[in-house]
């Protein structure tokens, strides 16, 4: 094992991080190579810098005028130069400030500074590399984003173990999560390690827990930690903030998890993709927290994460980060985001109105939804893929079938005035096929 990795592991001894790191996570480190030495040169090379593989002239990166012309508000260095492995310092600080503002429960919690990754998918992939070994249990609801399978099961060969997302009364099934952890992370040696993957608002269902359900879920996780389970609780907050009902829990579960228990490592995977309406920028963040971790230990975990970022993408897009810094500092930032939220909320309310005034066929059931971009139907008779294909090829309407019985509709994409036609046609097709 590399001596730097060994030093980082020693710094993390006797913490939950040491208990949950994968073999790859234990072996990884940030090398004192070109990137690290270039960082030192930025601070101390006061005469000349001959380190990194970039071409400069007159103190600015050489560049193509056709690209420069399209981004007149940015300096050439903010467009063409490499970013640092951990991301632009200003963006990291801005994101943490926003994170605390949106999650007041984090105000007194100690967390790492967010690390910049290339979108949430990359953040989840780095998380899987750090904490998932072959055959490790990853606990998640039965209604989940399909890319989790590629990230955790196919890439890392972990076991995806699901529990019913909705309980008998239709709400979030915290008891099912507890049962799944006990069944799949226990053994003859007692409580073991598990990765628990939480995604709210959920994709595909568009459901987020109520305040009561969130409290029940948090109590359940604390209870498992008290039993001795070592938990990596990943909050995939891709659609964070899109909460349309007053009774919905409004903070990321990362906030209360951050200082909950020394046996819980909370990992927040979020980004500007949906929160800041910048889908193609591919900028996400990774933030870590656990009760009792010191600055030295956060730094060790950060250095391991930086090693994985370095080994996969080197660094995230510099122009995307530069534009986001400008956007977040713009005086219209909050106003623009509020306008987008209201547009999405109107579509959500329109779907609610449609379902109340024109119920679907008796065998097609709308699953609970209260947030995000989506809602789902569960079909008791017609195959969801058959419904999707008939809508697509027969009516020119695109939807997503998640399995044989689950059809997802993204009400975020069509304009509000198109929703009546979409749902009316969907119900007509389902009636014919059923």
pLDDT at 41: 63
**Three-state DSSP state, 310:** helix
CATH class assigned to 334-433:
alpha beta
pTM of the predicted structure, to 2 decimals: 0.95
Distance CA 130, CA 155 (A): 12
Distance CA 301, CA 316 (A): 19
Give the confidence band of 284 by pLDDT, cuts at 50, 70, 90.
Answer: very high
Say what the pLDDT of residue 365 is.
95
Query: Once rounded to an integer, what is the mean pLDDT over residues 317-321?
Result: 97
- Residue among 98, 155, 106, 152 at smallest CA distance from 271: 98
CA distance 347 to 342: 9
pLDDT of residue 42: 72
pLDDT level of residue 35 (50, 70, 90 thresholds): low
Could you list the beta-strand ranges (E) of 127-192: 137-141, 159-163
How far apart are alpha carbons 287 and 269 in whole angstroms?
A: 7
Distance CA 176, CA 166 (A): 9
Average pLDDT, the chain: 95
| pLDDT range class, residue 107, cuts 50, 70, 90 | very high
Contact 26, 307 (CB under 8 A): no
The domain locations on the chain are 3-30+85-329, 334-433
Q: In this predicted structure, what is the pLDDT of residue 32? A: 86
pLDDT digits (tens, 9 = 90+) for 177-223: 999 999 999 876 679 999 999 999 999 999 999 999 999 999 999 99
Under the banding of pLDDT at 50, 70 and 90, the label for residue 413 is very high
What CA–CA distances, in Å, run from 12 to 17, 113, 303? 6, 17, 12
Q: Residue 83: which pLDDT band, with cuts at 50, 70 and 90?
A: very high
Predicted pLDDT at 69: 95
Q: Is the pLDDT of residue 39 over 80?
A: no
Task: Give yes or no for a contact between 344 and 372, defined as CB atoms under 8 angstroms apart.
Answer: no
The CATH T-level fold of domain 3-30+85-329 is 3.40.640
Give me 302's structure tokens. 């950060």
pLDDT value of residue 157: 98
| CA atoms 406, 251, 272, 284: torsion sign | negative
Q: Which two tokens stand for residue 143?
A: 């209604």
Count CB-CB contacts under 10 A for residue 142. 14
29: nearest Cα among 40, 21, 38, 19: 21
Least confident stretch, 58-62, 188-192, 217-221, 286-290: 188-192
Confidence of residue 170 (pLDDT cuts 50, 70, 90): confident
Residue with tokens 């799949």: 184
| Res. 15: pLDDT tops 80 | yes
The number of C-alpha atoms within 13 Å of 75 and in the hemisphere containing its C-beta is: 6
Which tens digits make up the pLDDT trace of 362-382? 999 999 999 999 999 999 999
- Over 80: is that where the pLDDT of 49 sits? no
Q: Give me the mean pLDDT over the 221-247 stretch.
A: 97
Banded pLDDT at 289 (limits 50, 70, 90): very high
Q: Are 45 and 51 in contact (CB under 8 A)?
A: yes
């Amino acid at each position: 094992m590399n001596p730097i990795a060994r030093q980082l592991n020693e710094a993390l001894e006797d913490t939950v991080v040491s208990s949950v790191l994968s073999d790859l996570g234990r072996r990884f480190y940030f090398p004192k190579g070109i990137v690290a030495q270039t960082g030192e040169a930025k601070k101390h090379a006061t005469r000349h810098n001959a380190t990194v593989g970039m071409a400069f002239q007159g103190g600015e990166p050489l560049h193509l005028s056709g690209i420069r012309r399209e981004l007149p508000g940015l300096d050439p260095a903010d467009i063409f130069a490499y970013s640092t492995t951990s991301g632009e310092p200003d963006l990291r600080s801005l994101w943490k400030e926003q994170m605390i503002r949106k999650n007041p429960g984090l105000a007194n919690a100690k967390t790492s500074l967010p690390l910049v990754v290339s979108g949430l998918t990359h953040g989840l992939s780095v998380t899987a590399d750090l904490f998932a070994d072959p055959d490790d249990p990853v606990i998640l609801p039965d209604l989940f984003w399909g890319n989790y399978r590629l990230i955790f099961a196919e890439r890392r060969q972990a076991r995806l173990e699901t529990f019913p997302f909705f309980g008998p009364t239709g709400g979030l099934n915290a008891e099912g999560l507890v049962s799944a952890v006990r069944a799949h992370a226990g053994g003859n040696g007692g409580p073991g390690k598990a990765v628990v993957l939480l995604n709210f608002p959920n994709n595909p269902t568009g459901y987020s827990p109520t305040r009561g359900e969130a409290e029940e879920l948090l109590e359940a996780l604390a209870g498992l930690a008290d039993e001795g389970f070592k938990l990596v609780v990943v909050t995939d907050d891709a659609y964070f903030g899109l909460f349309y009902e007053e009774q919905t829990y409004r903070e990321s579960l990362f906030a209360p998890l951050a200082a909950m228990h020394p046996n819980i490592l909370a990992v927040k995977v979020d980004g500007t993709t949906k929160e800041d309406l910048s889908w193609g920028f591919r900028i996400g963040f990774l933030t870590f927290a656990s009760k009792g971790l010191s600055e030295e230990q956060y730094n060790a975990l950060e250095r391991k994460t930086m090693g994985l970022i370095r080994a996969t993408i080197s660094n995230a897009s510099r122009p995307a980060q530069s534009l986001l810094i400008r956007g977040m500092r713009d005086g219209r930032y909050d106003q623009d985001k509020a306008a987008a939220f209201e547009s999405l909320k109107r579509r959500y309310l329109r779907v609610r109105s449609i379902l109340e005034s024109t119920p679907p066929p008796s065998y097609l059931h709308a699953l609970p939804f209260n947030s995000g971009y989506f809602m789902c139907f569960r079909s008791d008779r017609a195959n969801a893929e058959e419904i999707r294909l008939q809508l697509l090829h027969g009516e020119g309407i695109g939807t997503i079938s998640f399995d044989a019985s689950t059809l997802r509709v993204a009400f975020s994409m069509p304009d509000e005035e198109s929703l009546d036609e979409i749902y009316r046609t969907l119900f007509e097709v389902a009636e014919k096929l059923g």
